[in-house]
């Protein structure tokens, strides 16, 4: 007996998946108990050059032939984007095929529809590669930590942003310069908006939050802030205080609801996440029983992501062999038990803050700023004030004790209106995951 699979898309991830299935065929057979056979690969243009050698007989432009073929038990969607990926996934499910996808966007937007359809059709949908590339974060939340109440989950989930911030930190160069170099090196897309504006991380956080807390969360629930406005000056000042700058995706339980947010964050340089460099990803999970858990590895790329896809294919092939489905709920919780938990508004978030004020070099400047902060219940923890070397603004850098976001925004609005302040205040949040 063998299990036939059909693949939609032969780009970077598709090529990695096919390469692993070809090269590790014997190993996979020993672990699964039968061969996995690629029967068809649907592509737009069979004549295009490929990252992996594939027999022409496997290629087809007729995607629907994968759904009609009774021999194909598992369909693997690797084209990305919302449409036609959503339609293809639903067509495969309707045809009674198990589905593997690496598509975080389609799951973040249409996950409930897809998983409901799969349950009704008696098939499974697996998506380990949708978050964290080769890092097994999905399986960890669904299975390994199934007995834990998740207290918090913090992740460095976008390799492009982490690469840019690492270069800015270690080489003291501007965001624009690093981004340009990252695009030439292939670490960033020609249009990098999805990554650098935090939307890629937010899509991943939708999935992680649902898995961790069994809640129906949408992209609109997540506060999202990217890294476009990060300057080497602020990274350097943060280092003086003993902090490293990272783009973090965070979800955690509080008495006022779930906090779900993506934004640049200062974390202590001795924290384990501070050492995650370049294009690597990491997930720092705190469970009530297990304590702290760290998962670390390459969060993207041909073979790391292909590894996660193949892992899912093997899992679903085991279900085919056993004649069952639904053994592990796709979202960790039973679909009937998913609930809409309250989301804590960003204005109510409480954390420490970093401020950099650009002011005129005059007596009493610090006292005026401190006075407004005090009136808004914001307590100063540390201050660095440096004299100007040439004509121009003087930077005053502060760290606060814990303060409420709404109070911070109100105070900064007042401060930025002072005639001694000559540029909008830069601020970053500080967390200790």
pLDDT in tens, 38-95: 999 999 999 999 999 999 999 999 999 999 999 999 999 999 999 999 999 999 999 9
CB 353 within 8 A of CB 430: yes
pLDDT higher than threshold 70 for residue 166: yes
What's the mean pLDDT in 102-108? 95
- Tokens representing 78 are 């690797």
pLDDT at 388: 60
Task: Answer whether CATH 3.30.70.260 is correct for domain 347-430.
Answer: yes
pLDDT at 187: 76
CA angle centred on 196, ends 191 and 200, rounded to 5°: 90
Query: Binding site for NADP(+): residue ranges?
Result: 8-15
CATH number, domain 3-132+302-330, options 3.30.70.1430, 3.40.190.10, 3.40.50.720, 2.40.50.180: 3.40.50.720
Task: Answer whether CATH 3.30.360.10 is correct for domain 137-298.
Answer: yes
Residue 389's pLDDT band (cuts 50, 70, 90): low
What's the mean pLDDT in 263-278? 97
Residue 349 backbone phi and psi in degrees, to 5: -65, 140
Give domain limits for the chain: 3-132+302-330, 137-298, 347-430
What's the mean pLDDT in 234-246? 96
pLDDT at 188: 82
Query: Binding site for NADPH: residue ranges?
Result: 104
pLDDT higher than threshold 70 for residue 390: no
Which of 39, 204, 246, 252 does the annotation list as catalytic? 204
Residue 385's pLDDT band (cuts 50, 70, 90): confident
pLDDT higher than threshold 60 for residue 147: yes
What's the mean pLDDT in 103-115? 95
* The model scores a pTM over 0.85: yes
C-alpha–C-alpha distance, residues 7 and 78, integer Å: 7
pLDDT at 387: 63
pLDDT at 2: 94
- Tokens representing 189 are 């897309």
- Tokens representing 171 are 């080489």
Residue of 145 and 394 predicted with greater confidence: 145
Query: Binding site: residue ranges?
Result: 8-15, 104, 189
HSE (side-chain half, CA atoms, 13 Å) at 275? 8
Task: Tell me whether residue 386 is one of the annotated catalytic residues.
Answer: no
Q: Tell me if domain 3-132+302-330 and domain 347-430 are identical in fold.
A: no
C-alpha–C-alpha distance, residues 154 and 134, integer Å: 17
CB 243 within 8 A of CB 429: no
Convert the pLDDT of each residue in 351-370 to its tens digit: 999 999 999 988 889 999 99
C-alpha–C-alpha distance, residues 287 and 295, integer Å: 14
Convert the pLDDT of each residue in 211-226 to its tens digit: 999 998 999 999 999 9
C-alpha–C-alpha distance, residues 123 and 433, integer Å: 37
Instruction: Kindly list the distances between the CA atom of residue 182 and the CA atoms of 161, 164, 195, 359, in Å, as whole numbers in the listed order.
Output: 10, 7, 12, 34
């Amino acid at each position: 007996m063998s299990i036939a699979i059909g693949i939609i898309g032969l780009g970077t991830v598709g090529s990695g998946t096919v390469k692993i299935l070809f090269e590790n065929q014997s190993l996979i057979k020993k672990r699964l108990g039968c061969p996995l056979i690629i029967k068809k690969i649907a592509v737009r243009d069979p004549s295009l050059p490929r990252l992996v050698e594939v027999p022409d007989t496997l290629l087809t432009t007729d995607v629907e032939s994968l759904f009609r073929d009774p021999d194909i038990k598992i369909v693997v969607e690797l084209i990305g984007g919302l449409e036609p990926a959503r339609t293809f996934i639903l067509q495969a499910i309707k045809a009674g095929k198990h589905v593997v996808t690496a598509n975080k966007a389609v799951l973040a937007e249409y996950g409930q529809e897809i998983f409901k359809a799969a349950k009704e059709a008696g098939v499974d949908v697996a998506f380990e590669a949708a978050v964290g590339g080769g890092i097994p974060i999905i399986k960890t939340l669904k299975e390994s930590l199934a007995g834990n109440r998740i207290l918090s989950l913090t992740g460095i989930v976008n390799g492009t942003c982490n690469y840019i911030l690492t270069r800015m930190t270690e080489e003291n160069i501007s965001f624009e310069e690093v981004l340009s170099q990252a695009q030439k090196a292939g670490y960033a897309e020609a249009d990098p908006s999805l990554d650098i504006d935090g939307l890629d991380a937010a899509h991943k956080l939708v999935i992680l939050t649902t898995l961790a807390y069994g809640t129906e969360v949408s992209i609109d629930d997540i506060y999202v802030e990217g890294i476009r406005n990060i300057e080497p000056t602020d990274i350097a000042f943060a280092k003086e205080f003993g902090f490293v700058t990272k783009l973090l995706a965070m979800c955690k339980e509080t008495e006022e609801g779930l906090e779900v947010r993506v934004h640049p964050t200062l974390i202590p340089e001795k924290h384990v996440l501070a050492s995650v460099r370049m294009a690597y990803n990491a997930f720092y999970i705190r469970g009530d029983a297990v304590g702290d858990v760290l998962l670390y590895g390459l969060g993207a790329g041909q073979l790391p992501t292909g590894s996660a896809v193949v892992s899912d294919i093997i899992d679903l092939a085991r279900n085919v062999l056993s004649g069952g489905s639904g053994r592990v709920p796709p979202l960790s919780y039973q679909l009937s038990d998913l609930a809409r938990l309250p989301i804590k508004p960003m204005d109510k978030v409480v954390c420490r803050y970093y401020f950099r004020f650009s002011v005129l070099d005059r007596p009493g400047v610090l006292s005026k700023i401190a006075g407004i902060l005090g009136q808004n219940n914001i307590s100063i923890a540390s201050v660095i004030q440096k004299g100007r070397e040439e004509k121009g603004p003087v930077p005053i850098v502060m760290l606060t004790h814990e303060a409420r976001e709404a109070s911070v925004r109100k105070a900064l609005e007042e401060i930025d209106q002072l005639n001694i302040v000559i540029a909008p205040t830069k601020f970053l949040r500080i967390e200790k995951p």
